[in-house]
Structure 1
Amino acid sequence: MIRVEKLHCGYGRRAVLSDIDLEVGRGEMVGLLGPNGSGKTTLLLALSGVLAPESGRVLLDGDDVHAMPAKERARRIAAVPQHIEPSHDLTVREFVLMGRYPHLSFLARYGENDHAAAETAMRETGTMHLAERSAGGLSGGELQRTAIARAFAQCPQEDAVLLLDEAASGLDVAHKLHIHDLLRARHRAGATVVSAIHDLNLAALYCSRLVFLKEGHIVLDGPTAEVFTETHLTEIYGAKLTVFPHPVTGAPQCCLVPNND
């Protein structure tokens, strides 16, 4: 599905990612983890086609993502950035409907199918009641759900690719769980999800595979149950952590161990 080959990427003279090789299979739900500045956002920008590599390739079903026309790429990949600042002039309905733009032909207007896709996405994300509200006046949780609704409207097909950068950052516990429940439901319907997640325990609860980045390199990649260990987490984050099974799901979870010296 997604194949990254010898990717080197950065911003001007500042290199961020070096020699990245990665494969994500169709229908996987993968969590990107790592310390601040490790390159998670840069990798997502490269996967989405927004940031061109200095060398190497990003392939989607064998097609070079950066060689695709922008509209074709946007019909196959939907991205939810970490920071969203919609205009106060847009209603939530209009904001979500913007996800349908890649499906329009030249000079065409939104049609019945586009409006139906937007409404389906709003119902799925629990944002239908916000439809006529100003998108710029939403709370953090409302805005994140609205951004996910736009992504769902943009790529409603079951084999879509969803890329998310800290989709639940700064949200309360209920909204974090709700957003990841939405992503898991879409994943179970067949979507491929790659999500940068700051919260280690949240990632371990929802993702079956974890990819850890550090200083621009992939340092660990594998099934959650195998890589989410005390040894690995302590080495990657430079802090002592202990790992234990979740009392309900059995998924590995961690907590910090304070230094009592």
Structure 2
Amino acid sequence: MSLEVKNLSLKIGAKKLLSDINFKLETNEVVAILGPNGAGKSTLFKVLSGEHRHYEGRVILEGKDLKSWKASDVAKLLGVLPQSSALAFPFSVSEVINLGRLPHSTGRVLDHQIITEAMSKADVSHLAGALYPSLSGGEKQRVQLARVLTQIWQKSDLGERYLLLDEPTSALDLPHQHQTLSLARDLAKEGAGVLAILHDLNLAAQYADRIILLSEGLCVAQGDVKTVLTPQQIESLYGIKVTVMSHPEHHYPLVIAS
């Protein structure tokens, strides 16, 4: 099964934001979406997460049109981490993370175990008692990541799990950028499908299995990392000359501005 986008287009007013997007997110893979500002990345994310519903084409989750799913069932399969999450109430970190278990009825003992493990994976265990509004941007991002992890911690009888990440590393320092994408990579190895919007081409090259390039609402390229991240593609998309070389140890592409 998969999360599939077929002939997706979206217009708001007279402006067309997405045009005939087609791709499939399989389980056991990480797909990175790249493109300059205004390319349509966040608009696509909002469609996949259910925020935009008035689009043409189809989004198919586990063989069933996304619009026909109950929201409570989608929440068991689809974990969504937006760029930022506004939460002004003085909840503690553990209370925020506990929200991820609301779609499930697994009992307090198991929920506590899952929350504890998710906090450890996201490196926020030491913040458990802190008030969420008092945290830094990067700490809030890691807390929200832990919340989403608890939401899709276990495979559901309804189908496979999918994780959608919108610029998950934007507020993070270097160690936590790699920690977050390593978590995504591990989740994919466990059978989930992961889609991440990224700005850093080298992080995408290191952690993604496939890359989708967007420009002005169009998919201009998609495929494996080495096929897509070429100097010609990058220059055409971003308007900057680059050199692409192979990492000396791991052999994924390294993109360097010329």
- If the length of structure 1 is used for normalisation, what is the TM-score? 0.91
Find the residue that maps to 2:145 and give its secondary structure. helix
1:141 partner letter: G
Aligned partners of 2:28 and 2:54: how far apart in 1?
25
Contact 1:207 1:224 in 2 (8 A): yes
- Equivalent pairs counted in the alignment come to 253
Aligned partners of 1:180 and 1:249: how far apart in 2?
16
Find the residue that maps to 1:102 and give its secondary structure. coil
Find the residue that maps to 2:111 and give its secondary structure. helix
Pair 1:247–1:65, CA change in 2 (3 A): same
1:238 partner letter: G
Please report how far the alpha carbon of residue 154 of structure 1 lies from its aligned counterpart in structure 2 after TM superposition. Answer: 0.5
5 Å matches for 1:44-193?
44-104=45-105, 111-158=108-155, 159-193=160-194
Q: Percent identity?
A: 37
Moved more, 204-213 or 44-53: 44-53
Aligned partners of 2:118 and 2:178: how far apart in 1?
18
Once the two structures are superposed, what CA deviation does each residue of 1:146-172 show, in whole Å capped at 9, x if it has no partner?
Answer: 111011100112541000000001322
Aligned partners of 1:57 and 1:30: how far apart in 2?
19
2:209 partner letter: S
Please report how far the alpha carbon of residue 13 of structure 1 lies from its aligned counterpart in structure 2 after TM superposition. Answer: 4.3
Please report how far the alpha carbon of residue 140 of structure 1 lies from its aligned counterpart in structure 2 after TM superposition. Answer: 2.3
Please report how far the alpha carbon of residue 230 of structure 1 lies from its aligned counterpart in structure 2 after TM superposition. Answer: 0.7
Moved more, 27-36 or 158-167: 158-167
Give the aligned partner of residue 237 of structure 2: 236
Contact 2:89 2:133 in 1 (8 A): yes
Once the two structures are superposed, what CA deviation does each residue of 1:85-139 show, in whole Å capped at 9, x if it has no partner?
Answer: 333511110100111112259xxxx633323222221122221111111111112
Which stretches in structure 1 are left out of the alignment for 5+ residues?
A: none
Once the two structures are superposed, what CA deviation does each residue of 1:40-79 show, in whole Å capped at 9, x if it has no partner?
Answer: 1111111122211421110011111122111111111000
Aligned partners of 2:129 and 2:11: how far apart in 1?
40
Pair 1:11–1:120, CA change in 2 (3 A): farther
Q: Which runs of 4+ in 1 moved over 3 A?
A: 10-14
Once the two structures are superposed, what CA deviation does each residue of 1:155-212 show, in whole Å capped at 9, x if it has no partner?
Answer: 1125410000000013222221121122112222221100000111111011011000
Contact 1:85 1:136 in 2 (8 A): no
Which stretches in structure 2 are left out of the alignment for 5+ residues?
A: none
Contact 1:5 1:57 in 2 (8 A): yes
Aligned-residue CA RMSD (Å): 1.7
Matched, 1:226 2:223: no
- If the length of structure 2 is used for normalisation, what is the TM-score? 0.93
Contact 2:27 2:188 in 1 (8 A): no
